[in-house]
Amino acid sequence: MNRAARYRRRERGRTGRGALLGLCAVCLAVAAVFCMRLDRTGQAMEAYIIEPREGTAGPVILDVPFIDQREKYPTGCESVSAVMALQYAGVDVTPEEFIDGYLPKGTAPYPDGEGNYISCDPRQAFPGDPYTHEGWGCYAPVILSAAEDILRERDVTSLSIEDLSGMGLDALCRDYVRRGIPVLVWDTIGMEPPQEDALLTLEETGEAFVWIYPMHCMVLVGMDRSQYYFNDPMEGKAVPFSKEAAELAYEGLGRQALAFVPAL
């Protein structure tokens, strides 16, 4: 079962959660208020956020632009998440420009005849086509390379892309989100417990690579006492997930994280 098939399976269970988000606004604290307006489908359209006063340790949510991947980029969560963060940082780029002009692409996984798959290395290129349901997904080094190229080609000297892999979610919130910097993180769809799934043989090296189910990428935009908030391209803007579930999913994908940081 490829990554897109897992997306489709997850879609059947999302209506209830979208309706729940539409029932009420989420009150974070006296110092931070978050309200979400929904369209007819339950999709988050706009968020109104009051951040805590400087120097306080209250809840915070960054008002990062939201892009829905489901219609046009069914397996393009990494590219869509990167574009959300770039747009927030002031870079005028679309998902199409990012995917077509900068994202390294390689061979989509195909059966090896023994129940496993042969694939390009998802740490070096996106396996397949993110515009289709047959694409899989790529790891942080691929998006890092694409981001470096777009910043260099467009002569964006006010930003740099930093690899924050290895940092915990609390540290990312403390050191980056609270400074107004959203963070791309690799986790799982719906923060499901990560599982070892397909076994890939990398066509360049013959190395065995274990695919983690159901891999996903989102933008970490905030936190409060019990939850982290993400712009989830599969679900909506500033979607809350429990800290426990988010940390488990993030750990399962190897603590991969990137951020666009103002240049010194």
What pLDDT shows up at residue 58?
Answer: 81
195 or 19: whose pLDDT is higher?
195
Element (H, E) at 173: helix 169-175
State pLDDT tens for residues 146-188.
999 999 999 999 999 999 999 999 999 999 999 999 999 999 9
The whole-angstrom separation of Cα 65 and Cα 71 is 17
What pLDDT shows up at residue 3?
Answer: 55
- 28 pLDDT higher than 70: no
Q: Domains in the chain: how many in total?
A: 1
The whole-angstrom separation of Cα 172 and Cα 203 is 34
What pLDDT shows up at residue 2?
Answer: 53
CATH no. for residue 30? 3.90.70.10
State pLDDT tens for residues 88-134.
999 999 999 999 999 999 999 999 999 999 999 999 999 999 999 99
Q: By residue range, what is the domain housing residue 11?
A: 3-262
- 41 pLDDT higher than 50: no
What is the DSSP code string of 60-127? EE--------TTT-TT-HHHHHHHHHHHHTT----HHHHHHHT--EEPPPEE-SSSSEEE--TTTSEE
State pLDDT tens for residues 198-244.
999 999 999 999 999 999 999 999 999 999 999 999 999 999 999 99
CA 136 to chain centre: 14
Residue 55 burial (CB count, 10 A): 5
Mean pLDDT of the chain: 85
Quickly tell me which residue has 């777009």 as its tokens: 150
- 57 pLDDT higher than 90: no
Give the pLDDT band (50/70/90) at residue 22.
very low
Q: Is the pTM of this model over 0.95?
A: no
Q: What is the mean pLDDT of residues 69-81?
A: 98
Q: Of 188, 161, 172, whose CA–CA distance to 223 is shortest? A: 172
